[in-house]
Amino acid sequence: MAIAMQPAATYRRIPLAPHQRTERITPTENCFVLAHLGVPRIAAAGWSLSVEGLVRRKLRLDLAALKALPQTRLESFHQCAGAPKRPDLPMRRVMNVVWGGVLLSEVLERAGVLPEARFVWSYGLDHGTYEGHTVDNYAKDLPLDRVTESVMIATELNGAPLPAEHGFPARLLVPGFYGTNSVKWLDRIVLADRRADSPFTTALYNDPAADGTPLPVWAVMPESAIVAPAPDAVLDARETEIWGWAWGALPVASVEISTDGGITWRAAEIEPRRAFSWQRFSLKWRPERPGPAIIMARARDASGAVQPPADARNAVHRVAVTVGG
Ligand SMILES: Nc1nc2c(c(=O)[nH]1)N[C@H]1C(S)=C(S)[C@@H](COP(=O)(O)O)O[C@H]1N2
Ligand SMILES: [Mo]
């Protein structure tokens, strides 16, 4: 029997704009919600997660069995990639929360992954139609060698059971990968030797690369967003703090700030990363001239990759303010 969907159509809730993300840990009620097909309503009783495919032993774990495995907590940012076919559009939907659950590696160890396995396929219980694609399940895949030690089967968000819209009773959580990969309402994991054949892994969420080969939307590119000052703020000539959050698959090594629309840049202070948390950056600024000013921030990660000025998921964030006379 198909699981009831409520709503049974695409559901998005984006409660906070970047300047409202003032808290390090995003309160659950302020977390964004993205559900392509709607929100399945699942009872814990009767639910179980199966692990199959290229494994020595098939597993079927109900919620009690999952809770009986070693539990971990992890602070991680979580970012929606935005429109699946518009890699040129920055959406800046991001939050930073504490996830609780079981490491995927613990589960895979018990199943015994066969040497020919290369990918982890994951399936949600949601079904329906998204942009003309009708599916029985939301499905995603990950390269097995990119399954870091932190990938988990999460059952908790900020210390409480996952709310229905965030994936109750369990979801995959792939720290450092765009949100689309963290399959909610998880009920099946399949180990495979190739990529999964689902609209969400083939038609959608593959960015065209320079040489034409599609690039799966997996690792999060370095990004930063300005919290303060807020857009359209009116500042006086006193010193003010420009600050915000920076994140990416790799730790962010530096953030530079421009207060003249990108002509000159200065290094901000940035805190080191803990786990997969976002990192606070800040810079003291004393406005020199009255009039309009464009503040920009750009992050560079540990590999040297830097935010592009425009036309990218992780394009530089610009905030227009006015300096009063
Ligand atoms: N089963 C399922 N998982 C899903 C989705 C979905 O539509 N169905 N949406 C994905 C997308 S695009 C994002 S950005 C995140 C959002 O997670 P959240 O709603 O908990 O913030 O879930 C991902 N996991
Ligand atoms: Mo998303």
pLDDT (average), residues 30-39: 98
Closest residue by Cα to residue 120 from 73, 70, 51: 51
Residue pair 153/102 in contact (Cβ under 8 Å)? The answer is yes
Tokens, residue 315: 């394009």
Average pLDDT of every residue of the chain = 96
pTM for the complete prediction? 0.97
Identify the structural domains of the chain with CATH numbers, from first to last.
Answer: 4-216 (3.90.420.10), 223-323 (2.60.40.650)
Q: Ligand 1 pocket, 166 CB below 6 A?
A: yes
pLDDT at 60: 98
pLDDT at 315 > cutoff 70: yes
- Residue whose CA is at the smallest distance from ligand 1 atom 15: 179
Q: Where are the alpha helices (DSSP H) in 150-305?
A: none
Question: Residue 147 — very low, low, confident or very high, per pLDDT cuts 50/70/90?
Answer: confident
pLDDT at 8 > cutoff 90: yes
Of 282 and 208, the one with more pLDDT? 282
- Closest listed ligand to the CA of 83: 2
pLDDT at 26: 98
As a whole number of angstroms, the distance between CA 105 and CA 252 comes to 26
If you write DSSP's letter for every residue of 178-189 in order, what string do you get? -GGGS-SSEEEE
pLDDT at 163 > cutoff 90: yes
Of 58 and 209, the one with more pLDDT? 58
pLDDT at 213 > cutoff 90: no
3-class secondary structure, 20: helix
Q: What residue type is assigned to position 102 of the chain?
A: V
pLDDT at 146: 81
What is the atom index within ligand 1 of the atom nearest the CA of 33? 19
As a whole number of angstroms, the distance between CA 230 and CA 252 comes to 23
3-class secondary structure, 107: helix
- Tokens 């694609």, located at residue: 133
pLDDT at 1 > cutoff 70: no
Q: Ligand 1 pocket, 124 CB below 6 A?
A: yes
3-class secondary structure, 104: helix
- Residue whose CA is at the smallest distance from ligand 1 atom 20: 166
Question: Residue 246 — very low, low, confident or very high, per pLDDT cuts 50/70/90?
Answer: very high
pLDDT (average), residues 221-244: 96
Give the pLDDT confidence of 52-105 residue by residue, as tens digits: 999 999 999 999 999 999 999 999 999 999 999 999 999 999 999 999 999 999
Q: Ligand 1 pocket, 276 CB below 6 A?
A: no
Closest residue by Cα to residue 265 from 273, 279, 253, 255: 255
Q: Ligand 1 pocket, 135 CB below 6 A?
A: no
pLDDT (average), residues 281-295: 95
Question: Residue 211 — very low, low, confident or very high, per pLDDT cuts 50/70/90?
Answer: confident
- Weakest-pLDDT range from 141-145, 150-154, 205-209: 205-209
pLDDT at 325 > cutoff 80: no
Calculate the CA dihedral of residues 125, 130, 136, 142 and round it to 10 degrees: -70
Question: Residue 149 — very low, low, confident or very high, per pLDDT cuts 50/70/90?
Answer: confident
Give residues with Cβ within 8 angstroms of 125, minimum separation 6.
3, 40, 42, 137, 185, 186, 187
Is the Cα torsion angle 64, 149, 173, 105 positive or negative in sign? Answer: negative
If you write DSSP's letter for every residue of 108-141 in order, what string do you get? HHHH-B-TT--EEEEEES--EEETTEEESS-EEE
pLDDT at 27 > cutoff 80: yes
Question: Residue 119 — very low, low, confident or very high, per pLDDT cuts 50/70/90?
Answer: very high
From 91, 182, 198, the mutation candidate for ligand 1 (largest count of ligand atoms within 8 A of CB) is 182
User: Helix, strand, coil % (nearest 5) of the chain?
Assistant: 10, 40, 50
Of 273 and 149, the one with more pLDDT? 273
